[in-house]
Each structure stands twice: as structure tokens, then as C-alpha cells.
Amino acid sequence: MKTKPLLKYIDNYVSLTKKEEDFLVSKVIYRKYLKGQYLVQQGDICKYTCFVISGCTKTFYMDDLGQEHIMMFSIEDWWTSDMGSFINQTPADFNIQFLENTELIMFSYEAMEDLYRNIPKLERFFRQIIEKAFIASQKRIVRNLSMTAKDKYLYFKNQYPQIEQRIPQYMVASYLGITKEFLSKIKSQLLSEE
Amino acid sequence: MKTKPLLKYIDNYVSLTKKEEDFLVSKVIYRKYLKGQYLVQQGDICKYTCFVISGCTKTFYMDDLGQEHIMMFSIEDWWTSDMGSFINQTPADFNIQFLENTELIMFSYEAMEDLYRNIPKLERFFRQIIEKAFIASQKRIVRNLSMTAKDKYLYFKNQYPQIEQRIPQYMVASYLGITKEFLSKIKSQLLSEE
DNA sequence: TGAAAATGTTAAACTAAGTTAACAAAATTT
DNA sequence: AAATTTTGTTAACTTAGTTTAACATTTTCA
């Protein structure tokens, strides 16, 4: 089981003893998924919070008209879950689908409770992770409110160059909240500007 | 010092002993602000995370063109802070301004550290609070991506009727990411639909 | 109470972004 | 390698939302 990347990641926030690390490792699940598979589908209960070891996922909402609205992508060293569904064990709002063959470390709800009970440091760790996620989420809201489509695209391109390389352009458009045609127009505009 | 609403609020998540409650109370600041004053201005370091006892605040970003983009309102029993600034002690992205005379309970960065150190249960409490805030933030992103202006307004009206009553309409428009004129148009459309 | 300031409405002209559809290029499958 | 599917581009047309500006209403405060 490849747990090194996770333990290394955690070590940036709190330091666990060997014993604690072993306990943690005993509680998590390591699993590979294939491109196209789903971790959660909207309406299901999200059973796991996951740390991505390798690969890529998209988290999206599908509206009544069948349109996909992409919330986020996750790659190596990122977390993914439908937090609302996982925490409250209620039906998920979002789908999480693998865009590449992906290796994950998965925390079930029970494992999470067990870990909090036995390793209080992890309470601190996850608080800090979620604080960061919340801050990023708030900043995204403000970007969506205050930036033009072009500026949002430039921000995305600049902030996540690794991601832009790996996913089709229509998914970037969906993430930015614009149509694929309009993104295509923006990109050709940007090219002709130079 | 009016700390009852806070203690009652916390009690929904974790139960503190009398001693712990007293310690908590000894670490926080109770303060009143007047309508129009600021808790933080963008560019400053956000010194406090606050629990609103009474009153109302708006959190907004002001862009280079001088336009306000409202992120959130807070009323009784809500939390307010520029989380990014508070956690990292870096310049704030947002302004927090009082829309009414407001009573707050304020947690400084040092108080927060002290509280986490002495009352580990609070680590759990704040993790849970932030999880909720994060979930709400994600849902807001998806609404902004997938709903029309009209539907966003109806959702807001329905979800926060207490808030809509208390604030001017142009602030609702800013929160929804549309112009005040367009909101006015939407409202008159809705009236004529019945 | 009356004047000033703040907030809300309406409408015309405008612009950013969406829709549709036809074609082009790239990636996958057979 | 050909065929099919997936992804990307371009362009004409439409629509949602903005801008500006003039006027109406409400609130604040001297």
C-alpha cells in the first residue's frame, strides 16, 4: 500500500509517532480506479473522503437539463469528497468521476471517527485542511463574482497549469462557468493579441 | 458580557465543563460596534474571528473599479471573519462592515491558539463549524454556476428571508452577482407573473 | 417639517456570453 | 489504416445581464 505520500503530506501539519502512523494506515483503504469510473454519483451517500496518490478526478453537478457544472479537479496530493454528503451521511449533490486511472487512499466515515478518537492530533490536521479548502472556496466565489470570463480563464491557466494540460478544454469551460465555444473564442482572442 | 448565546451555540456541538466554559469566556472579547464601522478593511490583517450576538455585517471585496462584491451577510448566531487573513495572518481580501449596531464575541489569533491548546474539544468544534461553512460555500459556487439570476434570487429570498428584510436591495443584487437594476427588473417580473 | 441623501424603478442602447450548427482535427477503436 | 467517436473551431444569431440616465420614493437628519 502506497501510504508514503499521505504520511508526508500530514507531516506538514502535525507530527505523528510511528505508532500513530501505523494505526492510521491500518484504518485506511488503498484502491485503484479506472478512467471513467465513479467514486460517488449524485444521490448516493458519499462513503469516503479520499487522498489522491496519482491520477485525476472531476467533481461536478448535473442539472435538470443534463448540463455538467464542474466544481473542482483533484490531482496528486489533493483531497476529494462530497463533503456535505460525507459529513452528514446524506445524498450527494455531486458526482466524482475519474478522468485517468487513479490511485487513492480512502477514509470511511467510521475510520474517520476512529481516527479522531484515537489520534486527537488528526482533529487539528483536518481542521487545518478544511480551513484551507474553505478559504480557497471563498476566493473562487469572489473571482466568479468580480472577474470577466477572460480573466477567470487566465487565472485558472496560471494557477493550475498542470491541470489544464491534462483535461479537455470543454471541462475547463465548464469549471469556469462558460460555454466551450466561448472559451475557444477567448483563447483565439488571446493568441491574436500577442 | 453576553456570552450565553455563544455557549449555547457551542453546546450543540461539544459539551464543555463549567471550568472550560469559564476559561473560554476569560479568553474572548465582548464588544459593540456602530453601524458603518469596519471589523476589517481589505489589506489589513484580520485580527479576530467573531460570533455575532446581535446586529448584522456584510463581507465584501472591492475591485479595482471600485465595485463592491458582497460575499456574505452575518446576523445573530453566525460567525464572521476573513478566514484567509486570520489563519495566515496575511492581508485581508475582504472588508467586513457593520450594517447595524452590532454586538460581537471576538476571538484573537492568540486566544484561539490558547483555546485549542487547553480545550482540545474546541479543535473538534471549530472543525465542525468550518466543515459546515465549506459545504455551504461549495453549494453557493454550484448555484452561481448553474442557476439563472431569477432562480438565485428566489433561492436567496427563500433561504434567508430574515436577511432580505434587513438590508437594502442593491446589496442583495451585489450578493447575487447582478446589477441592482436587473434585480429590480426580476422582482417586477415576478410580481406580474402572479 | 422640510431638505438632502440614500435607495428603488423604468427604459433605451449596449455588450458579454450563450446557442446552434456545420466543419475540422485529434484520439480511440476495430 | 479506416472508421468512429471525441474534442475543438468558427460564425451567424439570440439572450441575459449591464450601463446610463432620468425620475420616483423612502429614509435620515438638521
pLDDT in tens, A163-178: 999 999 999 999 999 9
Strand partners, A170: none
Mean pLDDT of A45-67: 96
Question: What SS3 class is residue A4?
Answer: helix
Structural domains of chain A sorted by starting position, each given as residue range(s) with its CATH number in brackets: 4-122 (2.60.120.10)
Q: Is the pLDDT of residue A194 over 70?
A: no
Place B1 in a pLDDT band, splitting at 50, 70 and 90: confident
Mean pLDDT of B143-158: 97
Lowest mean pLDDT among A54-58, A91-95, A133-137, B63-67: B63-67
Residues of B in contact with A140 (CB under 8 A): 141
Residues of A in contact with B130 (CB under 8 A): 127, 130-131, 134
d(CA B112, CA B117): 9
User: Residue B194: what pLDDT?
Assistant: 60
Query: C-alpha distances in angstroms, B88 versus A81, A156, B84, B117?
Result: 25, 23, 6, 18
User: Residue B27: what pLDDT?
Assistant: 97
Smallest CA–CA distance, residue B131 to chain A, in Å, is 7
| b/e A27-38 (16+ beta carbons within 10 angstroms → b) | bbeeeebeeeee
For residue range A81-102, what is the model confidence (pLDDT) as tens digits? 999 999 999 999 999 999 999 9
Question: What SS3 class is residue B12?
Answer: coil
User: Residue A1: what pLDDT?
Assistant: 79
Among candidates A71, A87, A123 on the partner chain, residue whose Cβ is nearest the Cβ of B123: A123
d(CA A112, CA A133): 18
Contact B88, B129 (CB under 8 A): no
When the pLDDT of each residue in chain A is averaged and rounded to a whole number, the result is: 96
Indicate yes or no: CB of A124 within 8 angstroms of CB of B116.
yes
d(CA A191, CA A28): 47
Residues of A in contact with B120 (CB under 8 A): 120, 123
Q: Which amino acid is at A3?
A: T
Percent of chain B surpassing pLDDT 70: 99
User: Residue A192: what pLDDT?
Assistant: 83
Mean pLDDT of B145-171: 96
Report the distance from CA of residue A174 to the C1' of nucleotide D6 in Å, as an integer.
16
The x, y and z cell numbers of residue B147, run together, are: 442557476
Smallest CA–CA distance, residue A121 to chain B, in Å, is 9
User: Residue B136: what pLDDT?
Assistant: 98
Place A191 in a pLDDT band, splitting at 50, 70 and 90: confident
When the pLDDT of each residue in chain B is averaged and rounded to a whole number, the result is: 96
Smallest CA–CA distance, residue A25 to chain B, in Å, is 22
Contact B102, B32 (CB under 8 A): yes
The x, y and z cell numbers of residue B68, run together, are: 463592491
Place B192 in a pLDDT band, splitting at 50, 70 and 90: confident
